[in-house]
Copies of this chain bind each other. A is one copy, B any other.
Amino acid sequence: MESFFEVKRPDEVFEIIDRLISPTGEETVPLSAAVDRVMARDMKAPEDLPGFFRSTMDGYAVRAKGTFGATEGLPALFQVVGEVRMGRPPDMVVKEGQAVKIPTGGMLPQGADSVLMKEYCHCLDEETIEATRAASPLENVIGPADDFRRGAVFLTKGHRLRPQDVGVLAGFGITEIPVFKKPRIAIISTGDEIVPVDHTPLPGQVRDINQYTLGALCQRAGAEPVFLGLCPDKFEPLKGIVEEALARSDSVWISGGSSVGTRDLTLRVFESLADFELLVHGISISPGKPTIIGRAGSRPVVGLPGHVASALVVAEVFMTRMISLLSGYAGRPRRWGTVVEAELSRNIPSANGREDYVRVMLSEGENGLTAVPVFGKSGLISTLVDADGLVRIDINAEGLYQGQRVKVILFEHTEGGLL
């Protein structure tokens, strides 16, 4: 089966993905499960935060005016008229010349407008202190709405929740968080040579690697893989499993067979689906050219290349974007932090008219990172295991030169600790 469909450039594929995909739906999760989920709505502050004036230091609540001009040599005297207890509204009123002992986080008593740090106060007796520095109004105090004013949007739809964002939701007492559903990605492996991972392959057979590689990539990207197992290279069974997959998921990915026959079969099955539209049939990248992207109704359906390295590169470059959009994520696409700069260790040739993704290892030297290409056939997974990331060679470039600064798209998971 010959196709006259034009091979698409990567930028065209991104445009198609961006246009095609919308979030999969909304649900609520408890606060303790909200991190890394994507907000489904703008969140407005239901009240001022903080709700009252609080001290940020251990010290004495006073009227700032009474401290003006105070120095070591000429301290200001205050009469101590009480102490603020944590978690209770103080019942005293601070008048001129008076001070109330206050702990960090304590509620400022009426009449006071600032807190003198205890380091700048000497106790003369039980009831008298002298201040050796002036305090300005609101010094060492946080007040209503210093964090957020009632009604202000404090988190926006499409934002992925970080620990501090979860903290603000807690601060407002919002315990059921409206987030977008995690997209469910159905993964189907095809290929008459593929056996389940717990089988011992006979000669000519191999275990199903792609299902697990792609499933892990989905999990990392915030999606839920739905494993539908293996399917032989036959039209009816594959169509049956794809229809089941469409009923159970938000996107269907077929992977496994790398022969032309398998790829044609995938396309034929897609074309037999109700309301199918073929959007991408081949991408001008290497590895990964024989990629199919279409839609069945509103659901993206994808035929990934069979070679394991090709499938993972396509998934890393294009499918993570698809998952982000299905997840409702509206922030900037991958730019900060998932890419590092490195110096290329050797020339890499590339064909013009094709975007190449070269696997590289990173090593650290005196002048920063060096990217060392890992060459190897796309059917081998060891090239990916050895690599730390991918270097993209532009579609119009004829290669990259030794010593050139390149950007490396990291496979790496964030690790904590020293810089």
Contact = CB atoms under 8 A, between A and B. Distances in A.
Contact of A334 (B172, B191, B419): B419
Interface stretch (A126-134, A237-245, A257-265, A344-352): A257-265
Interface residues of A, number: 131
B175 A197 contact: yes
A417 B316 CA distance: 8
B336 A410 contact: yes
A415 B329 contact: yes
A416 interface: yes
Interface string A126-150: 0000000000000000100011100
A316 B164 CA distance: 11
A85 interface: yes
B163 A312 contact: yes
A65 interface: no
B220 A36 contact: yes
A165 to B, nearest CB: 6
Interface stretch (A92-100, A246-254, A381-389): A381-389
A401 B145 CA distance: 31
A61 interface: no
Nearest to A155: B385
A124 interface: no
Contacts of A167: 209-210, 212-213, 216, 308, 312, 381, 384
Nearest to A166: B216
Interface stretch (A52-60, A68-76, A266-274, A278-286): A52-60
